[in-house]
Structure 1
Amino acid sequence: MTLKAARGRPSDPAKQAAIFQAARTLFFRAGPQGMTMEAVARDARVSKVTVYAYYANRDALIQAIIADVQQRLFASLRLPVDDTAGVRRSLTAFGVALLEFLCSEDCVLLYRALSSPAPIPADIRQMLYQQGPLATIAALAALLQRLDERGLLCVPDSAVAAEQLMGMWRGALHESLVFQQGDPPTAAELEQRVQAGLDTFIRAFGRPR
Structure 2
Amino acid sequence: MSDKSFPGNGPGRPKDPAKRKAILEAAKCLFLRQGYDGSSMDAIAAHAGVSKLTVYSHFNDKETLFAAAVKAKCEEQLPDLLFELTEEAPIEALLMRIGLGFYSLINSAESVGLHRTMIALASSNPRLSQLFYEAGPKQVIEEMARLLAEVDRAGKLRIADPHGAAEHFFCLVKGGHHFRHLIGCAEAQSAEDEQAHVCDVVELFLRAYRIPPLS
Q: Same fold (TM over 0.5)?
A: yes
- Counterpart position of 1:88: 92
Is 1:27 matched up with 2:31?
A: yes
CA RMSD of aligned residues (A): 2.5
Residue 116 of structure 1: CA displacement? 3.1
CA distance in 1 between partners of 2:124 and 2:41 (Å): 15
Residue 140 of structure 1: CA displacement? 1.0
Partner letter of residue 51 of structure 2? S
**Deviations 1:112-148 (CA, angstroms, capped at 9, x unpaired):** 2223369753222112123322222222111111100
Is 1:116 matched up with 2:105?
A: no
> Following superposition of structure 1 onto structure 2, how do residues 1-150 of structure 1 map, counting pairs within 5 Å?
7-9=11-13, 11-72=15-76, 73-82=78-87, 86-116=90-120, 120-150=124-154
The alpha-carbon distance between structure 1 residues 206 and 25, as it changes in their structure 2 partners (threshold 3 A), is same
Q: State which drifts further: 4-13 or 129-138.
A: 4-13
Is the 1:74–1:139 contact (alpha carbons within 8 Å) kept by the matching residues of 2?
A: no
The alpha-carbon distance between structure 1 residues 122 and 116, as it changes in their structure 2 partners (threshold 3 A), is closer
Percent of residue pairs bearing the same amino acid type: 30
CA distance in 1 between partners of 2:54 and 2:84 (Å): 38
> TM-score normalized by structure 2?
0.82
Give the gaps of 5 or more residues in structure 1: none
The alpha-carbon distance between structure 1 residues 118 and 99, as it changes in their structure 2 partners (threshold 3 A), is closer
Partner letter of residue 68 of structure 2? A
Partner letter of residue 80 of structure 2? A
Give the gaps of 5 or more residues in structure 2: 1-7
Is the 1:33–1:118 contact (alpha carbons within 8 Å) kept by the matching residues of 2?
A: no
**Deviations 1:71-110 (CA, angstroms, capped at 9, x unpaired):** 2314354334227x52112111111011001110001111
> Following superposition of structure 1 onto structure 2, how do residues 159-198 of structure 1 map, counting pairs within 5 Å?
159-180=163-184, 182-198=186-202
The number of residues matched between the two structures is 205
Q: State which drifts further: 40-49 or 158-167.
A: 40-49
